[in-house]
A and B are shown apart, each in its own frame.
Chain A
Amino acid sequence: SSELLTLTYGALVSQMLRDFENVDDVNKQLERVGYNMGMRLIEDYLSRTNSLRCHDMKDTADKIQQAFRMYLNIQPTITNWATTGDEFSLIFETNPLAEFVELPSDIGNLRYSAILCGCIRGALEMVQLEVQSWFAQDHLKGDGNTEIRVKFIRRLEDAIPAGED
C-alpha cells in the first residue's frame, strides 16, 4: 500500500519544517532530495523497461508518465503543450504524496510535493536532458488540479556517452 510512503513523506516534510523554520529552505531541500533520488531512480527505470533514448519531448513525456505509473501507481495526463513542443504539463487527479494533507495557512508557500519536480529533473539530467520543472497548480493550495510543468532547457551534449551521440 502507498500509505506507508505517504506517511513517511509527511514525516520527512514536517521534520524539515521543524529543522529549517524557513519555508523557502524546505522547498529547496525537498527539491534537492528529489534530485538525488532521480539520479538513482533513473537507472532502476531504465533497467526495468529497456527504454531507448528519447529524441523529442513527446517521447520523454510518455516515459515520465510511464514512470509515474510504475513508481506511484498514478497516471498523470499530459497536456498543455507549448507550440514550440518543448514544454508540457502533467496533470494529477490524485497526488499520493499529499493524500492526507491540509496545508496550514502560515506555510502557504510550501511546495509540499517539490520532491517530484526534483526527481524529474535529476532523472532527466542523467540521460543528458536539462529540464526545469515546477508546480503550476497545486490542489493543496486550492487550485482545481495538481499540475507540474516540465520545460526543456537543452541537451547536455558534452555529457552524452560515446557511441550514443
Chain B
Amino acid sequence: MVIYGVYIVSKSGGLIFNLDHNVPKVENEKSFSYPLDLKLEFDSKKVIVVFGQRDGITVGHVLSGINGVNVNGVTLEDGRDAKEVIENRENYPLNLRFHRPKMTTNEKIVLASTFYPLFAIASQLSPEPKSSGIEMLETETFKLNCFQTLTGVKFILISEPSQMGMEILLRKIYELYADFVLKNPFYSLEMPIRCELFDTNLQALLEQVEKN
C-alpha cells in the first residue's frame, strides 16, 4: 500500500492543501573525472541531466551537490556558480550528487489549477448527458483518484497503480476535512489549510491504511 500524495482543490480551483507522502527519495552521488560523460543543461533555475544515463542517474535528475556542498538551483551554498565549477578542468575529480527534482509549491498550484479545467472538459466531452468529471486517471507509475463533493471541493489522491479502495479513503479524508478544518473557527473558507490537527489526523489515517 503506497500513497504518494493528497491534494485538496477548492471550488474555485485553487490548491488549498497538499501533502507529499512516502515519495521515495532518490539520490545518487558519484565521482566524475574530466571530461564529464553526462550531458548537463544549465537553465536559469537548475542543472538538469539531459543525456547519458548511468549508475542510477537518469535523464531529468537535478544536480543537488558538488563535493558534498549543497547546490541551490544553479549556485553552490558557498556562493560559487555551479556551471563554472563543473566546466573548470582543475576542479576534477568532482563528486556530483543528483536527485529527482521535487515539485515546488508554485508548480503544484499550477498543476492543481490545470486539473480543474480538465475535470470540467471531461464532463462536457461525455457522450452521455450528466456525466461526472474525471474520477480516476491511470498511468504506468501512479493512479490519481478524484472525488468532488456536492459543494464543489475536490479531493485528489495519488497512489500506486494497483491500489484499491481509494474511493473509501477519499471519503474518510472528506470527513477529516469536515471535522478538523471546517469546525476550526479560525479557518476561513477557501483559504489554504494550515491546521495541525488535520495534518496529524490525516497522517495517522494514511499510515493506518498503508499498514493493511
Contact = CB atoms under 8 A, between A and B. Distances in A.
Interface of A: 39-44, 46-48, 50-53, 126-127, 159-165
B87 interface: no
A163 B148 contact: yes
B179 to A, nearest CB: 7
B149 A163 contact: no
Contact of B175 (A47, A53, A162): A47
Contacts of B149: 43, 46-47
B69 interface: no
Contact of A44 (B148, B150, B182): B182
B9 to A, nearest CB: 11
Contact of A40 (B120, B130, B131, B189): B189
Contact of A164 (B122, B150, B177, B178): B150
A161 B182 contact: no
Given A39-B189, A40-B183, A40-B189, A161 B152 contact: yes
Nearest to A160: B152
B205 to A, nearest CB: 13
Chain A CB count within 10 A is highest, among B122, B131, B149, B153, for: B149
Contacts of A163: 119-120, 122-123, 131-133, 148
Contact of A126 (B122, B148, B151, B171): B151
Interface of B: 11, 119-120, 122-124, 130-133, 148-153, 171, 174-175, 177-179, 182-183, 189
A47 B131 CA distance: 21
B120 A127 contact: no
B122 A44 contact: no
B182 A40 contact: yes
Contacts of A40: 182-183, 189
24 contacts: A39-B189, A40-B183, A43-B174, A43-B182, A44-B182, A44-B183, A46-B151, A46-B178, A47-B149, A47-B174, A47-B178, A52-B150, A53-B150, A126-B151, A161-B148, A162-B119, A162-B120, A162-B133, A163-B122, A163-B123, A163-B132, A163-B148, A164-B148, A165-B130
A57 B123 CA distance: 26
Contacts of B189: 39-40
Nearest to A163: B133
Contacts of A48: 175, 178
A81 to B, nearest CB: 24
A45 to B, nearest CB: 8
Nearest to A50: B171
A8 B139 CA distance: 53
A162 B120 CA distance: 5
Contacts of B133: 162-163
Contact of A127 (B123, B151, B178): B151
A162 B125 CA distance: 12
